[in-house]
Structure 1
Amino acid sequence: MIHTLLHGCRITFLVTVLPLLAVGISPTVAAAETVKVATYEGVINPVTAEYFESVLEEAVESNAHLLVFQLDTPGGLDTSMRLIIKEINASPVPVVVFVFPNGGRAASAGVFITMAAHVAAMSPGTNIGAAHPVAMGGGEMDKVMMAKVENDAVAYIKSIAEKHGRNAKWAEDAVRKSVSVTEKEALELGVIDFVAADLNELLAAIDGREVETATGKVVLKTKDAHIQHIPMTWRFEFLKVLSDPNIAYILMTIGTIGIIAELYSPGMILPGVVGAVSLILAFYSFQTLPINYAGLLLMMLGVVLLILEMQMFSYGLLSIGGIAAMTLGSVMLMSGGAEFQQVSLSVIFPVVLVFAGFIMLITGLAVKSFRRRPVTGAEALVGMTALAKTDLNLEGWVWLNGERWQATSDVPIQAGQEADVTAVKGLHLLVTQHQEAKERDSWT
């Protein structure tokens, strides 16, 4: 009996426990790593820096294995570029900057960002370089100041290149000489780490590479990684559009027109609201752009001259001066060295003409209103036709607008005849013979 029970226990043990032990000692299949992918195309500015910070934060919070930042940029602001690089340096998640797609580039500030990444890669048909500092705000820097800025940029990019084992000599030439190279040349020169046709090829190429993040060394496991794209939210899309100098300029003009329209006709509300909102958005845009304040003052002078035209009627002299000041100010407003931060002439001239046309329209309406005969009060009675209730032998009574008025006439007017009002003195009308009656008398 006991023997039978022991035998049964052995069988139960073999059937239930041993399979569990086998599972415990068998090799586990690791779950695929998650790779976050964000894409940015455009100028590097405060919006870019905020966007990069948000996608990197999402990658960290979701315990992503890697962040791939696909970049295509002509360059941008030094302050925004440095903020992005600081985020990369402090990131526990490895960051790959991938210059993409075909025809894309990493110029100016884009060079610094690409070389600061844990892994730098480019797709075929792209280029990198031309990182010489550019004076913003429309002015030319003197030689001493330019040398300081250039040397600072050289020291910064060399430290970045040396930290990641990349070509520091080429990095210096990119700043001092504005050299630019293709993706193949960049790979041969040791500027970047990989050339890949697309994201999948890139992830296959970097698999097994060891990089050092802010929290230590990480071996990239990207061969069969799970890819998650981070789309740009509508908020960042909107702010990105506002960062366009042409949009900022148009918003400022719309805002000015709206405020002037509200001042010309108080109580309309809509022009004032649209104008105020447009000006606020324009001022936000100016924070992301290099503004030439001499140009801004010229534009303000032009607006003042055009508004004065509404009040003084200078026969067009103030309008001509205002249009000239606005045009010159518009050209100077964002005349930075970088083309992508300037207002296009194809935008300036139509906007100035529209603005000038609006002011002339308002001026015309103001002149017309000024010359129009009053329609209320005593002055509105002048020119109206009254009907004589009694004979007017200099003095008498007339009927006007359903009311009985005492009237004085310069000529005799019989009862029942019409008389024209020439003046109003208190409750007394001065009248004269009706124009048609005068014409009949002149023929006789």
Structure 2
Amino acid sequence: MKSKRLRLIGSIAFLFLACLLIPIQSFVYSDQESENESLVYYIPVEQTVERGLEAFMSRSITTAKENGATHIILEMDTPGGAVDAAGNIALLIQESDIPIITFVKNKAISAGAYIALNTEQIIMAPGATMGSAAVIDGAGNAAEDKTQSYWLSEMRSAAELNGRDPQYALAMADQRIDLPELGAPEGELLTLTAQQAMQVEYAEAIASNRTELIDYLQLGSVEERDMQVSFSEQIARFVTHPVVIPILLSIGSLGLVLELYSPGFGVPGIMGISALMLFFFGHMFAGFAGWESMILFVIGFLLIVVEIFIPGFGIFGLLGIASVIGGMLLASFSTASMLIYIAIALVITAVATVFIFKYFGNWGPMKKIIHTDSTSTDKGYISNKTREELIGQSGTTLTPLRPSGSAVFNQERLDVVSEGGYIGQGSKIEVVYTAGSRIVVREVKENNLKEE
């Protein structure tokens, strides 16, 4: 009986331990499985490379790091863009502790090629291209020699950073390098296809999709997450585009100039303020503008409003414009670039203002914005009727004229003014001139009456 009790107790203890061990084993297995799983973040690098993309890249890399990502993959399809933004993005890549890989889905041109060269591996889709990285200015012409030299050194450094032959990176940016075997003879920039990139070891693999990409990287079990560009970041990317900035500034300045010539506050003012607010919002969200630039802008806006409603000989308006420009310079990522954008906007505003005033000042909706009409007797505007029939009539002064006073003509009392001298009360007078309410009289001497 005693042995049965012992066996029963032993069985219960065994079952109890088994129940404890199963969750522990399951937890250990689950934890090991979690440790073996790779967390991959996909970051889209699309459209033009500008400072808004830089802000998005910074947020994305920080998010990936905070969430324990093991790999970051840049899904690239860009025609290039601003050199300064590309340089800052390259610095973000170089400082990242997480391996960053470029997957060229379609094209990595110009600044896109430079960004790709800074990553550890480049994998290209079958029809993708990479290269053509010459530096051009805002007018589409080749940049000056100093800028070209800097950019060539950057391309060389990016290639050497990950053990790639710098000759091909330089050929992407320098037409003097002769590579006819790759379709880039002297005078043409190098643009590599996926197969050519594999040939010169600028691409590690060719993959048609994410599945083939992950298989090549041999990451095993993978959790994939996509970084999405938020609506605010989309606006910031649009607003910080080098082409959009001078357009916004032109719209803003033109709207404010037209508002100064129109009564009250209407469409031009709303248009101008909206464009400038969009400019500041985009630059603030992208991280280039601080509260000090916004404060300067608000002060400038208030001064311009004061000038519109309370004319102050232009002082408030000039101070307001200076304050707005100061806010723009503080909000800019490059003072030199912003000065160029402001100069472009001022030229466009001046030309557009002259054109609008000359050709549209008295047409269509501009009639409500620019007041060009005037009152005249030809159009039926009569402030006081001119009594021309009084000229030559004689009357008598009711009051002394010093030189103005009252007189009576044919029993009609009128306010009159002498030609300049004093005329006493009860004197005989004659009307010599009338203009509106002004009736000019002259004293008639007694000898003149006798001669008549």
User: Above 0.5 in TM-score?
Assistant: yes
Count of aligned pairs:
342
Secondary structure at the aligned position of 1:148 is classed as helix
- Superposition deviation, residue 270 in structure 1: 4.8
Give the Cα separation in 2 of the matches to 1:129 and 1:405: 96
- Consecutive unaligned residues of structure 1, counting only runs of 5 or more, are 208-220, 308-318, 324-353, 399-403, 409-420, 431-444
Question: Where in structure 2 are the equivalents of 1:40-55 lying within 5 Å?
Answer: 40-55=45-60
Change in CA separation of 1:83 and 1:249 when aligned onto 2, cut-off 3 Å: closer
Letter in 2 for 1:114: A
Change in CA separation of 1:160 and 1:266 when aligned onto 2, cut-off 3 Å: farther
Q: Which of 403, 406, 415 matches 2:414? A: 406
Structure 2 match to 1:98: 103
2:425 paired with 1:423: no
Structure 1 match to 2:172: 174
Give the Cα separation in 1 of the matches to 2:18 and 2:344: 88
Letter in 2 for 1:41: E
- Superposition deviation, residue 197 in structure 1: 1.3
Letter in 1 for 2:258: A
- Normalised TM-score (structure 1): 0.63
Give the Cα separation in 2 of the matches to 1:160 and 1:190: 14
Give the Cα separation in 2 of the matches to 1:248 and 1:373: 49
Letter in 2 for 1:121: I
Change in CA separation of 1:269 and 1:3 when aligned onto 2, cut-off 3 Å: same
Give the Cα separation in 2 of the matches to 1:306 and 1:73: 34
Structure 2 match to 1:121: 123
Q: Deviations over 1:356-385 (max 9, x none)?
A: 75567569986843455699xxx9523489
Structure 1 match to 2:43: 38
Q: Deviations over 1:194-236 (max 9, x none)?
A: 22112232122212xxxxxxxxxxxxx3x44232222211111
Q: Which of 62, 72, 76 matches 2:77? A: 72
Q: Is the 8 A contact 1:35 1:66 kept in 2?
A: yes
Q: Deviations over 1:312-364 (max 9, x none)?
A: xxxxxxx5xxx6xxxxxxxxxxxxxxxxxxxxxxxxxxxxxx78755675699
- Consecutive unaligned residues of structure 2, counting only runs of 5 or more, are 176-188, 284-327, 396-406, 417-433, 442-452
- Superposition deviation, residue 180 in structure 1: 0.7
- Superposition deviation, residue 105 in structure 1: 1.0
2:191 paired with 1:187: no
Structure 2 match to 1:442: none
- Superposition deviation, residue 251 in structure 1: 2.4
Question: Where in structure 2 are the equivalents of 1:27-426 lying within 5 Å?
Answer: 28-29=29-30, 30-31=33-34, 32-100=37-105, 104-135=106-137, 143=145, 145=146, 148-162=149-163, 166-177=164-175, 178-207=189-218, 221=219, 223-279=220-276, 281=278, 287=332, 291=337, 297=343, 300=346, 303-304=349-350, 319=354, 357-358=359-360, 368-370=372-374, 372=376, 381-383=383-385, 406=414, 422-425=435-438
Q: Is the 8 A contact 2:133 2:173 kept in 1?
A: yes
Give the Cα separation in 2 of the matches to 1:364 and 1:2: 110
- Superposition deviation, residue 259 in structure 1: 1.0
Secondary structure at the aligned position of 2:253 is classed as helix
- Superposition deviation, residue 79 in structure 1: 2.1
Give the Cα separation in 2 of the matches to 1:358 and 1:288: 37
Secondary structure at the aligned position of 1:96 is classed as strand
Give the Cα separation in 2 of the matches to 1:405 and 1:204: 110
Q: Is the 8 A contact 1:72 1:105 kept in 2?
A: yes
Q: Is the 8 A contact 2:385 2:437 kept in 1?
A: no
RMSD: 4.3
Give the Cα separation in 1 of the matches to 2:369 and 2:414: 37
Greater shift, 295-304 or 228-237, is seen at 295-304
Secondary structure at the aligned position of 2:162 is classed as helix
Letter in 1 for 2:230: T
Q: Is the 8 A contact 1:99 1:121 kept in 2?
A: yes
Structure 1 match to 2:419: none
Q: Is the 8 A contact 2:119 2:162 kept in 1?
A: no
Change in CA separation of 1:98 and 1:295 when aligned onto 2, cut-off 3 Å: closer
Q: Is the 8 A contact 1:131 1:174 kept in 2?
A: yes
Secondary structure at the aligned position of 1:235 is classed as helix
Q: Is the 8 A contact 1:44 1:75 kept in 2?
A: yes
Q: Is the 8 A contact 1:44 1:77 kept in 2?
A: yes
Give the Cα separation in 1 of the matches to 2:349 and 2:369: 18
Change in CA separation of 1:15 and 1:280 when aligned onto 2, cut-off 3 Å: closer
Change in CA separation of 1:18 and 1:69 when aligned onto 2, cut-off 3 Å: same
Give the Cα separation in 2 of the matches to 1:224 and 1:247: 44
Give the Cα separation in 2 of the matches to 1:92 and 1:295: 37
Secondary structure at the aligned position of 2:373 is classed as helix
- Superposition deviation, residue 239 in structure 1: 1.4
Letter in 2 for 1:369: D
- Normalised TM-score (structure 2): 0.62
Give the Cα separation in 1 of the matches to 2:81 and 2:70: 29
Secondary structure at the aligned position of 2:63 is classed as helix
Letter in 1 for 2:53: T
Q: Is the 8 A contact 2:207 2:213 kept in 1?
A: yes
Give the Cα separation in 2 of the matches to 1:273 and 1:197: 49
Give the Cα separation in 2 of the matches to 1:39 and 1:294: 30
Q: Deviations over 1:256-286 (max 9, x none)?
A: 3321222112422553243133245458789
Change in CA separation of 1:135 and 1:262 when aligned onto 2, cut-off 3 Å: closer
